[in-house]
Structure 1
């Protein structure tokens, strides 16, 4: 399916908007959560207005599989965290600094994460960007490109381990979305991953 110039323009605008806003957001730690939530809300609106989302699994399937795939996603990142120092890469200090600056600190942050940010990120990246890119390239390449873009927009954070982690899980969730064709599954997977990463079994 060919995409129009308007669709290309909207995609480019939304990506540039996110990148510019994240430069501003990561430079303002005191209001990081509010600015990031606003950014995701705008991207969520773009996705809802310009994309359709797959939902082809029964509820109990996406709940059960979401817990499983979320745990696997966490396990992959945890394994990378444990192995990287053995390869003489020092990532503990930058991770500690990033978490001290930007990790969710109270229940309000988790509410924003679960009910706005996670949903917005998945509808935008998997539901909108990835599907639009599929109109221009093979599905596998669209998944990889989406994963790269989702990592690149984190460049303003200066947090390279976070960019690598974002690419890894985005790659996994992108292929998972194409395989299972269920946005609720991806949202549950992302939610379980975040809760394990920040609340249940944090890296520190």
Structure 2
């Protein structure tokens, strides 16, 4: 087994991701500015470091992307319902996240669609998960990359956000293993985010 600790691109990018997200969540008033910058960094770093996988026809990645985005929303809807009956404060955390970080201005929606969503998929699946698969089997790479993806949300101080990110990371990571198509993941993530944040939010 190769030693991933010697992969300076992988290690440095994750460290930088944590630094950027620490700054992002340090003040909600700068969230949209700094997270935009962070995702532009994610996109740039991934593109110069790895080839972006796209092994599906356009019709295929659109179909699978839309269906998987709808399915993931359905799973999160069930999860949100469970939160309402569980004896935890996670239900209130979800409401707090919506209150603090929902888009307010038109440019928020633009960067959500054009920067946030592509940035997360290109970096966390197209670079981190792909890079980890060099050093581990694909299932270990899936779990580790999903944990790393979730870990950056620790600075939001909302445990439910980390859990949601890990679960979503597993789902999109499985899709990546299955179809090896970053455009498909971007479509899936887009459909999911539009439903959760814009069209049919849980709060």
* TM-score band, normalised by shorter chain: over 0.9
User: Taking structure 2 as the reference length, what is the TM-score of the superposition?
Assistant: 0.95
Q: Show CA shifts across 1:134-187 (max 9, x none).
A: 011110110111110000111000111111110001101001111011111100
* Count of equivalent residues: 203
Whether 1:87 aligns to 2:79 is: no
Residue of structure 1 equivalent to 2:129 = 130
Map of 1:6-155 to 2, 5 A cutoff?
8-155=7-154
Residues 152 and 163, structure 1, Cα contact 8 Å, conserved in 2? yes
Q: Within 2, Cα distance between the matches of 1:2 and 1:89?
A: 42
Q: Within 1, Cα distance between the matches of 2:121 and 2:92?
A: 29
Residue of structure 1 equivalent to 2:158 = 159
Residues 4 and 132, structure 2, Cα contact 8 Å, conserved in 1? no
SS across alignment from 1:153: helix
Q: Within 1, Cα distance between the matches of 2:89 and 2:75?
A: 18
Q: Within 2, Cα distance between the matches of 1:105 and 1:178?
A: 35
Residues 3 and 135, structure 1, Cα contact 8 Å, conserved in 2? no
Q: What RMSD in Å do the two structures reach over aligned CA positions?
A: 1.6
Displacement after TM superposition at 1:106 (Å): 2.5
Displacement after TM superposition at 1:25 (Å): 1.0
Q: Show CA shifts across 1:13-68 (max 9, x none).
A: 11111111111111121121010110111121110011112211111111121111
User: Taking structure 1 as the reference length, what is the TM-score of the superposition?
Assistant: 0.94
